[in-house]
Amino acid sequence: MNQLPKLLGFQLNNQEWFAENVSLLSIAQKYGTPCYVYSKQALIEAFSAYEGACLRLDGSRRARVHFAMKSNSNLAILDLFAGLGAGFDLVSGGELDRVIAAGASPAVCVFSGVGKSVAEISRALQVGVKCFNVESIPELTRINAVAKQLNLIAPISLRVNPDVDAKTHPYISTGLKDNKFGIAYESVLETYLAAKNMSHCNITGIDCHIGSQILDINPYIDALDRIFLLIKELRTHGIEIHHLDIGGGLGIDYGGEEAPNITDFANTLLNHIESCGFGDLEIIFEPGRSLVGNAGLLLTKVEYLKPTEAKNFCIVDAAMNDLMRPAMYEAFHHIEPVVQKAIPQNIYDVVGPVCETGDWLGKDRPLAVEPDDVLMILSAGAYGSSMSSNYNTRPRAAEVMVSDHQTYLIRERETIQSLFAGEHLLPKKNEG
């Protein structure tokens, strides 16, 4: 892969890159590096692409988007999507509190995740989430017990593991029988029957999520067809399903992939649902990457160029703690100088300062760069900042939103002192 991904909100003008007509170089100079930059225009356009399928011409709604906030949980982004009408897909109590802090309603949140604690379930019940996506029988039993203790009714759906191969990276595949997610297809009926008899659970829907960075629509169709069979069988047992959560996972173009058009993708699935006789259900999409992935990038400064007999290294100030995907998944991100220079090109491994051989951001990249140049690492809006860490006692990067030719700091760069502010030394023994 060596071609630029299809970007919204970022443009190359006169050999310099801009975000909504704001120079990326000026952003690096103002806010420092590493720095995540997001285009508000790109975020809105991606959301509108889903809405193009979710809304009919008469304004009635075919489906609703619930943003998978694990991909990017910045409060400004949550606030933007909430204002556009999105709900949210949560996987932790912390994400629930982020939604509330952003001013959105818990009533538009579905709570997924395989390891919900008693405290998380209690909090979600008390604030009134839309639904729990239940991923095991022990979890179902726990939710019922917590709801009983609180004298509340828990709205639940089951996350079905349909054993469908999404043909994606094994670490982000979630719909196979050997994945930890969801309830095995063969056990779904008995689990729904158990839920039906629980005093403090109310069955509202059914959920399915098969993976991430999926570029082929056929696995979605296969999964839906298996879900339809379950819904029909559940109806014969007096169990009515009111909503169908398709999950997310639609892939993006990282540079060379053919990602489906969002509106065409959503229309194809919704048309299939309606043609199979399930158009009366409330339909939920849970996109993450396809909303934010190509709406954000990571700026980083070249510290050193280090030639060796085996490799040329371009050592930058961003590292695996800032962008984990290359080290974790061997993921490809296009890397480009912010200012294009008429100097000789060399082939570099782009690496960071973290003390790990696995700390690389790109391998064998043709780059025309010098020390102190600024590079942009593209398609970093999803699973970039949200997966970042403080490994090697490195503060997490600043985050900036560009909107209407203006820049807004939406996350301050952490200070080193803040990283150990909650730590305590052992008391010293008295001497003498």
> What is the Cα 241 distance to its own chain's centre?
27
Q: Return left, alpha or beta for 238; rule: phi > 0 is left, psi -120 to 50 is alpha, else beta.
A: left
Residue 13 has phi, psi (to 5 degrees) of -125, 125
Rounded Cα distance between 243 and 205, Å, is: 5
- Token pair listed for 323: 């962008």
Query: Could you give the 3-state DSSP secondary structure of residue 64?
Result: strand
Q: CB burial class (10 A; 0-12, 13-18, 19+) of residue 42?
A: buried
> Do residues 379 and 293 make contact, with C-beta atoms less than 8 angstroms apart?
yes
Task: Give the Cα-Cα-Cα angle 280, 282, 285 (nearest 5 degrees).
Answer: 135
What's the CA gap between 188 and 374, in Å, rounded?
52
Place of tokens 């008390």: 126
Omega within 30 of 0 (cis) for the link into 34: yes
* Cα–Cα distance for residue pair 171/179, rounded to 1 Å: 9
Cα distance between residue 159 and residue 262, in whole Å: 24
Q: How far apart are CA 28 and CA 356, in angstroms?
A: 26
CA atoms within 13 A on the CB side of 335: 29
Tokens of 193: 């029957």
Distance of CA 248 to the CA centre of its chain: 9
Q: Active-site residue among 109, 201, 208, 355? A: 355
Q: At what angle do helices 75-84 and 93-101 cross, to 10 degrees?
A: 70
**Cross-strand pairs, 205:** 157, 243
- Side chain identity, residue 300: T
Nearest to 134 by CA among 92, 93, 182: 182
355 is known as an active-site residue: yes
Strands (E) across 287-328 are located at 296-307, 312-316
Between CA 124 and CA 283 the distance in angstroms is 22
β-bridge partners, 300: 375
242 in Cβ contact with 204 (< 8 Å): yes
Active site amino acids: 355
